[in-house]
Copies of this chain bind each other. A is one copy, B any other.
Amino acid sequence: MDNVWLNYKEALDGVEREIDRGLDSEVRLINETTRYILMSGGKRLRPLLLIISAQMGNVVDQRYLLLGCVVEYIHTATLLHDDVLDHAKNRRGRLAARNLYGNHASILAGDFLYTRAIRHIVTLENVEMNYVLSLTCNKMTEGEAWQLAHTMDFNLTEERYLKIIEYKTASLLSAACKLGGIVSGGSSEETETLSRFGRYLGIAFQIQDDTLDYLADYKRLGKPLGQDIKEGKITLPLIHLIAHCTEQEKEEMLHLIQSSKAKKDITSIIALMEKYGSISYAKKVASDFVTKAQQELNFFKNSTHREALRAVANYAISRDY
């Protein structure tokens, strides 16, 4: 995967320049808040997917670097809003923007990035791209709201969970791939295939994220262990556990979570997950989605770009932070 980042460094640097160039608000507070989070060491996974997808076709439109900036802006906007809504302390191992600039500024900086992204995409004057982006943003919001509606809901099904993460996370990764296809003049079969690749990859990526929450330690992930359960977020390992543990264990877990002592006793839940194989199960589901994603790639002829996308898919579930 290190090679992949390296091979697309030139285009990624171009995206970086676009990201920087767009943070030119007349309002200093907006510039400072957005710059703080955007320059905090994000991986630029979404721009990378867009770049590879675009270069796999014939990039005819150099404005694909601007599109890379657009997907990163939208991603960052959701992080700014999420951190406020989740009362997050840290992000990427340092203070969350809201703890430096306040909740108010974080919400508005997020709104600014959303609307600046829309402004950029409008300048491309391409109806199809407009459709993709506007649908995606709408879906992401619905996914977040769905998740909220299922807070502390021990009856959340795996099916619904998968739909939620498809909406809130996978839709943007899917859009990044699809936009790469569109901007390089891909056929509708090609762009739809890229869209599905990104969707499956995105679902795997989020399951991995949700699983790491029960595995990774604070230093690697930049946030404390078991954060999701403390916020009442029910994710795949827990859904599996709830479906397989005894009624009494379920009662005890519910009691523990509701009594907000989760911080102390998260280890007991992790122990149960190991007992019932819930972590392995979640990893297996993520791995299956990566396989589905990679199968989509067979539609394209062999190339370094195709192999790069394959590597990104593997990375989604092999990363441990």
Contact = CB atoms under 8 A, between A and B. Distances in A.
Contact of A142 (B25, B81, B103, B118): B25
A119 interface: yes
A122 interface: yes
Interface residue tally of chain A, by bracket?
Answer: 35 or more
Interface string A112-147: 101110110110010100110011011011101110
A170 to B, nearest CB: 16
Nearest to A164: B27
A134 B137 CA distance: 14
Contacts of A25: 142, 145
A284 to B, nearest CB: 28
A138 B116 contact: yes
Interface in A1-42: 25-30
B84 A107 contact: yes
A30 B142 contact: yes
A81 B84 CA distance: 12
Given A25-B145, A104-B148, A122-B134, 19 more contacts: A25-B142, A29-B148, A29-B149, A30-B145, A85-B107, A85-B108, A105-B145, A107-B107, A108-B148, A109-B145, A112-B138, A112-B145, A115-B137, A115-B140, A116-B138, A118-B118, A119-B135, A122-B127, A122-B130
A228 interface: no
Nearest to A131: B122
Interface string A70-87: 000000000001001100
A125 B121 CA distance: 13
B146 A27 contact: yes
A134 B111 CA distance: 12
Interface string A280-318: 000000000000000000000000000000000000000
A195 to B, nearest CB: 17
Contacts of A85: 103-104, 107-108
Contact of A108 (B115, B130, B145): B145
A40 to B, nearest CB: 20
A108 B29 contact: no
A85 B148 CA distance: 19
Nearest to A103: B85
Contacts of A130: 122, 130
Given A119-B138, A135-B119, A144 B108 contact: yes
Nearest to A126: B127
A115 B144 contact: no
A119 B114 CA distance: 13
Contacts of A28: 149
Contacts of A26: 142, 146
A87 B108 CA distance: 15
Contact of A111 (B81, B103, B119): B81
A111 B131 CA distance: 17
A21 to B, nearest CB: 15
A148 B84 contact: no
